[in-house]
Amino acid sequence: MNIPNLLTSFRVLLIPVIVLVFLQDFVWAGFCASMLFGLASITDWLDGYLARKLDQGSAFGAFLDPVADKLTVSVTLILITMHYPTVTIAIATIIIIGREIVISALREWMAKSGESDRVKVDGIGKWKTAAQMLAIGFLLGSATEPTSWGFWPGVVLLIVATILTVWSMVGYLKSAMPVILKSTKAIS
């Protein structure tokens, strides 16, 4: 197993640790969970950088990296929604997780159709990811009193991330639409 794949695997292993720390009853639990999430986010950037720099890209890494991302984001958003059961956070969580499922299925289907280039990550997707990661970090960190100041920046960033999530999903669906329409005509 190469270095980028080890970093991605480490990110997956951090998920239950983040959950356990966040659910502890001590004053710095949210802050500690936020720092662990920050570490996971750094490894997300670092594994991709090293895969390119060291020419260590692999089919396993191409599979595991997005899975690790989606698991980390989904689990932490669910934790945040449990802690802050507000309509705004619940709707944002549903939209973000729903989009991940739709786009993952779309990418798989497009790859089987030989059209995977149409749904590669774009600039909006990268901005969405950055806003998401910052929002989650702030919201995890604000879950306990010493760092509760991060709640409102986290909510604002989560709303921004949700808007970018919808925008990027629409972009991917538009790019895929010719293939989708062609496919539905072939079936009829």
Cβ–Cβ < 8 Å for 155, 143: no
| Nearest one of 44, 11, 38 to 150, comparing CA atoms | 38
Q: Which residues contact 35 (CB under 8 A, 6 or more apart)?
A: 141
Environment class of 167 (CB within 10 Å of its CB; exposed 0-12, middle 13-18, buried 19+): middle
Domains in the chain: how many in total? 1
Cβ–Cβ < 8 Å for 138, 150: yes
CA 133 – CA 64 distance, rounded (Å): 18
**Which range of residues forms the domain containing residue 115?**
3-187
Looking up residue 182, the CATH number of its domain turns out to be 1.20.120.1760
**Beta carbons within 10 angstroms of residue 23's beta carbon:** 12
CA 72 – CA 50 distance, rounded (Å): 20
Query: pLDDT tens string for the chain (188 positions)?
Result: 899 999 999 999 999 999 999 999 998 999 999 999 999 999 999 998 999 999 998 889 888 998 999 999 999 999 999 999 999 999 999 999 999 999 888 888 888 888 777 777 778 888 999 999 999 999 999 988 766 788 999 999 999 999 999 999 998 888 888 888 887 775 55
Question: Which one-letter amino acid corresponds to residue 156?
Answer: V
Q: Among positive and negative, which fits the CA dihedral 29, 23, 42, 88?
A: negative
State pTM to two decimals: 0.90
